[in-house]
Chain A
Amino acid sequence: KNQVEQSPQSLIILEGKNCTLQCNYTVSPFSNLRWYKQDTGRGPVSLTIMTFSENTKSNGRYTATLDADTKQSSLHITASQLSDSASYICVVSARNQAGTALIFGKGTTLSVSS
Chain B
Amino acid sequence: EAQVTQNPRYLITVTGKKLTVTCSQNMNHEYMSWYRQDPGLGLRQIYYSMNVEVTDKGDVPEGYKVSRKEKRNFPLILESPSPNQTSLYFCASSLFAGAYEQYFGPGTRLTVT
Contacts and interface: CB of A to CB of B under 8 A. Distances in A.
B95 to A, nearest CB: 12
Interface residues of B, number: 24
A49 interface: yes
Contact of A43 (B58, B101, B106): B106
A102 B99 CA distance: 11
Given A43-B90, A43-B92, A31 B99 contact: yes
Interface of A: 31-32, 34, 41-46, 49, 51, 89, 93, 98-102, 104-107
A44 B43 contact: yes
B98 A43 contact: no
A93 B98 CA distance: 7
A34 B92 CA distance: 14
Nearest to A51: B99
B43 A99 contact: no
Nearest to A41: B107
By Cβ-Cβ distance, the 5 closest A-B pairs, closest first, are A43-B104, A106-B42, A32-B99, A100-B97, A104-B43
B68 interface: no
A106 B58 CA distance: 17
A107 B44 CA distance: 12
A49 B101 contact: yes
